[in-house]
Amino acid sequence: MPATKTADPQQLRHIAAEIRKSVVTSLAEAGSGHLGGSLGLSDIFTALYFSALSHQPDNPTWPGRDRLILSIGHVAPVLYATLAHAGYFPVEELTTLRKLGSRLQGHPGRDHGLPGIELSAGSLGQGLSVAVGMALAAKLDNKSHRIYTIHGDGELQEGSIWESAMAASHHNLDNLIAIVDRNGVQIDGFTEDVMKLEPLGAKWESFGWRVLHCDGNNMEHLLETLSRASESINKPTVIIAKTVMGKGIRDIEGDYRWHGKVPTKEQVPGFLEQIDSGQ
Amino acid sequence: MQQLSDYRNRGSKPTKTGFGEGLLEAGTRDHRVICLGADITTSVGCNFFAEAFPKRFISLGIAEQNCIGVAAGLALEGKIPVFSTYGVFAALRAADQIRVSVCYNDLHVVIGGAHAGVSVGPDGATHQALEDIAMMRVLPGMTVLSPCDATQAKLATVAAIEQCRGPVYIRFGREAMPDFTTTEMGVEPGKSQLLLAGKDLTIIATGHLVWEALEAAKILEQEGIGARVINMHTIKPVDADAIILAAKETGYIITAEEHQVTGGLGSAVAEVVVQNFPVPMKMIGMPDHFGESGEPRQLMKKYGLTAECIAEAGRRKK
Ligand SMILES: [Mg+2]
């Protein structure tokens, strides 16, 4: 059965808020993990799984599905929350995050059998290469599904990203859409202080990619950009999505110290309230 | 049981060529086989396949980390990717990609490691793979193959593609080396081959040094020492039964490999011996040292990787 989808931004914002709340509660329960990036990506994941992607939650390995490769495994909480709300597994299971025996590993692990996980990943810089392999396979087999990837901006400092960027354009992989979470921060601070990435769009362009920019926390803008990305021009596409780390919770928005931090159980009610009131 | 005189060199040939022939054969039978190229297509034996199946040969340039990731993506989509490059670059440069994208995802990807050992010769230390077995055999789920000659390399490559499941690393060399096994002998991954049934001591060898082990057995035979010779073409999973039997029946085991003396075949055999039936061992391999330029034979002699060195270790039993 196809996924429940909508093109209504207001409805999608409501779903994104529910996903954010699940991210907060599951991380507080886990006691460790990455809150900031997971919240910043919640709108993107919502736009993908509730609008752009062709997929079937009750048939996760449906051959015709669009594939989503999460290259930055540390934001697994937003992937898990999205998959649960989309119907891949019960939302209650989110509270098992990072616990012994859980299908919700700290970084996604296919070996634990969680439906909807395309790749076990967590070592940065590898997801785009795998996506190139999947996109090549689709071309060889004349299949029309797309491969989407999610990257951090700090992750782009890995050299292997640029090896795969080169390969994707060399092989004209117009079925590949990479999304960069451009929140401008990484563990040690601002990306431009740690290791400069700008001019980032020009870098991708010079590697032979179509570059689209968007506000990754604006639902209308996201839907429009994802729709433009799916118009083929014989090139791979990268969407540089500007996001705010910690988006949705005023107290932590933009604070890079929340990259690898989780809320205490006492903080949870306040955080959930801020998510609700911010919609 | 075979006699020493049954093993003769039918003509020297690189194991790389056997790999290339095996890839071609498996690729002819199964259209899911895809070969990835990292610029050195001919020197790693992939030229036969690339010429026969240009649509299934994907050029990815000098970018080994990406090649491994692409292989993982192809395998996730049901293809059987084969990626071959020099062993140093496959097993070490792309080690993290092999660990996470391939092994942790438990994908059937066949990785060819060329230029195994010092017998690469004049290219020198940077291109002589001497640590690849150690790197690959610690990875969960990885099968490690190390065929002894061109005939066996072909069979092992077909087996790697068609019989093995999960990730496979297969190493081979560049120099023409004696081709002495037969197609009839076959190759069953995980099952070693008893080449000679001596009772005084056992030589367990892999790759090019299997021929040297047979030559060593010849020398020892003239001195009244009967050597058992085992061809350990699969280093992981290692054939524990054959090792334990050798320990029990001969009481002394020599291992011989063109690889660092730590972490490779010798270590794999010792792990079985010490936990099951401890007997004295002597490990022959690269003595914790980088290689250098020189003719293959000169280098093997300098670093103690010849029949004479193996025989010397055998004499020590007395
Ligand atoms: Mg970032």
For chain A, the domains span: 9-277
CA distances from A31 to A25, A36, A98 (A): 10, 14, 9
A35's CB contacts (< 8 A; 6+ apart) are: A23, A24, A27, A77, A246, A252, A258, A261, A262, A263
A241 in B contact zone (CB under 8 Å): no
B contacts of A128 (beta carbons < 8 Å)? 69
Put simply, whether A161 touches B (Cβ < 8 Å) is no
Average pLDDT of chain B is 97
CATH domain A9-277 topology: Rossmann fold (3.40.50)
Report the candidate in A177, A179, A205, A212 with the shortest Cα–Cα distance to residue A66. Answer: A177
Rounded to two decimals, the pTM is 0.97
Q: Which residues of A touch B55 (CB under 8 A)?
A: 140
Q: What fold does the segment set B12-178 form as a domain?
A: Rossmann fold (3.40.50)
Residues 51-70 of A with CB under 8 A from B: none
In a 10 Å sphere around its CB, with 0-12 CB exposed, 13-18 middle and 19+ buried, how is residue A74 labelled? buried
Number of residue pairs across A and B with CB atoms under 8 Å? Answer: 105
The predicted pLDDT at position B152 comes to 98
Q: Which residues from chain B sit within 8 angstroms of residue A123, using beta carbons?
A: 96-97, 99-100
User: Is the Cβ pair A133, B100 closer than 8 Å?
Assistant: no
Supply the ipTM of this predicted assembly: 0.97
Q: What does the pLDDT look like over A200-217, one tens digit per residue?
A: 999 999 999 999 999 999
- Chain B residues near any Cβ of chain A (below 8 Å): 34, 55-56, 58, 60-61, 63, 65-79, 81, 96-97, 99-101, 104-106
* Residue of A68, A129, A144 to mutate, interface with B, max B Cβ within 10 Å: A129
Domain(s) labelled CATH 3.40.50.920 in chain B stretch across 189-315
Beta bridge partners of B193: B231
Find all residues with CB under 8 Å of B191, minimum gap 6, and list them: B234, B239
User: Going by CATH, does the domain composed of B189-315 fall within 3.40.50.920?
Assistant: yes
pLDDT at A2: 83
Ligand 1 center–CA B149 separation, angstroms? 51
Closest CA to A52 of A250, A237, A249, A277: A237
Q: Which residues of chain A have pLDDT under 70?
A: none
B81 φψ region: left (φ > 0), alpha (ψ -120 to 50), beta (else): beta
* CB-CB under 8 Å, B104 with A109: yes
Query: Measured between CB atoms, which of B34, B55, B69 is closest to A130?
Result: B69
> Is B97 within 8 Å of A129 when comparing Cβ atoms?
yes
Cβ–Cβ gap A138/B77 under 8 Å: yes
From the list A88, A106, A100, the residue with the least C-alpha distance to A26 is: A106
Residues of chain A above pLDDT 70, percent: 100
* Predicted local distance difference test score (pLDDT) of residue B182: 96
CA A125 from centre of chain:
14
Distance B202 CA to ligand 1 centre (A): 58
Chain B hits for A109, CB-CB cut-off 8 Å, are: 104
Q: Is the pLDDT of residue B65 over 90?
A: yes
Chain A: residue nearest B103 by CA?
Answer: A120
Q: Residue B318 pLDDT > 60, yes or no?
A: no
Q: Is the pLDDT of residue B223 over 60?
A: yes
